[in-house]
């Protein structure tokens, strides 16, 4: 019980950190090329990850670990950041709520396929219901986007869910921060080279908010958030803890209300209560009898 509770606490901290990722990306792509943003954030985080691994003298992964680490890198170091950055050139960060509501399902499905987890049928019912509440709320706001942007966001959810499941398996042996650090290091030579290749001719027009956003997604979204997230998935179960992602859009609403002074309507509050209930029940039924 203590292990599961610790997993949920770590997962919750990770989700809170991730809640600022898409809004920060939306700000950054107003001044920075999405490919440059993707490779630069990975390069910065990769250098920090390499420094941590060297400082603590962590053991190197074996040859059999390289393919799963590559899947993690392709999913959360390259795939999700690049696909969302490309999509967020044309859609608002609010529109991403539609797709973030699908991420817990993607994570749970890959937890079954890759991790061998077997949640009870009731888990799937509450998981689908929670996703439907988030997606239904987002659609009720009347937000629209191009089919291409929607396709990019769906693809981002798929590769991210797979990377979460693979990273959770590795975290049981290496630890959360070690997994994301090794994934970042594995991709660092390519990301550093592409950073130089896509370096803009002039940085004079890049706004201060864009630089701050780049710093956030490099340090928090790319590294610190995963320290807690992968630890949470490893301790509490990928399918179970993955349901906490349903709260991520709601944290975004709270952030908008606190920082941007946007109103929180009664409907938002009711949806929040419903989603919290689905997460609680999904956790209860996540372990098979």
Q: Look up residue 40 and give its two tokens.
A: 């630069």
pLDDT values of the chain reduced to their tens digit, one per residue, 289 residues: 578 889 989 999 999 999 888 888 888 999 999 999 999 999 999 999 999 999 999 999 999 999 999 999 999 999 999 999 998 888 777 666 667 777 888 888 898 888 777 878 888 888 888 888 877 776 676 555 567 887 898 899 999 999 999 999 999 888 889 999 999 999 999 999 999 999 998 888 899 999 999 999 999 999 999 999 999 998 988 888 888 887 887 787 676 667 656 566 777 778 777 877 887 777 676 665 5
What pTM value is reported for the model? 0.87
Q: What is the pLDDT of residue 69?
A: 97
Long-range contacts of 133-137 (CB under 8 A, 24+ apart): 133/101, 133/271, 133/274, 133/275, 133/278, 134/97, 134/98, 134/100, 134/101, 134/246, 134/249, 134/271, 134/275, 135/97, 135/98, 135/101, 135/102, 137/97, 137/267, 137/268, 137/271
Q: How many CB atoms lie within 10 A of CB 196?
A: 9
Q: What is the pLDDT of residue 243?
A: 84
Give CA separation, 65 vs 5, 61, 62, in Å: 28, 6, 5
Residue 276 and residue 226 in contact, taking contact as beta carbons nearer than 8 Å: no
Cα–Cα distance, 112 to 119 (Å, whole number): 8
């Amino acid at each position: 019980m203590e292990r599961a509770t610790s997993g949920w606490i770590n997962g919750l901290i990770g989700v809170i950190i991730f809640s600022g990722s898409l809004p920060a990306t939306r700000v950054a792509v107003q001044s920075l090329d999405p490919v440059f943003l993707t490779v630069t954030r990975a390069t910065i985080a990769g250098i920090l990850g390499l420094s941590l691994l060297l400082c603590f003298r962590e053991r190197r992964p074996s040859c059999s670990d390289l393919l799963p680490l590559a899947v993690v890198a392709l999913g959360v170091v390259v795939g999700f950041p690049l696909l969302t950055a490309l999509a967020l050139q044309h859609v608002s960060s609010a529109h991403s709520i539609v797709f973030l509501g699908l991420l817990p399902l993607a994570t749970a499905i890959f937890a079954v396929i890759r991790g061998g987890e077997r949640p009870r049928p009731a888990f799937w019912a509450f998981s689908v219901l929670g996703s439907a509440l988030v997606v239904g709320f987002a659609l009720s706001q009347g937000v629209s986007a191009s089919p291409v942007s929607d396709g990019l966001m769906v693809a981002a959810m798929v590769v991210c869910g797979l990377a979460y499941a693979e990273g959770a398996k590795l975290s049981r042996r290496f630890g959360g921060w070690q997994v994301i650090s090794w994934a970042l290091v594995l991709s660092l030579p390519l990301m550093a080279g592409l950073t130089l290749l896509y370096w803009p001719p002039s940085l004079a027009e890049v706004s201060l908010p864009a630089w701050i956003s780049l710093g956030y997604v490099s340090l928090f979204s790319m590294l610190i958030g995963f320290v807690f997230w992968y630890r949470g998935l490893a301790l509490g179960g990928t399918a179970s803890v993955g349901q906490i992602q349903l709260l991520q859009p709601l944290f975004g609403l709270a952030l908008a209300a606190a920082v941007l002074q946007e109103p929180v309507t009664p409907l938002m509050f009711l949806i929040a209560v419903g989603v919290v209930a689905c997460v609680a029940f999904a956790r209860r039924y996540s372990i098979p009898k």
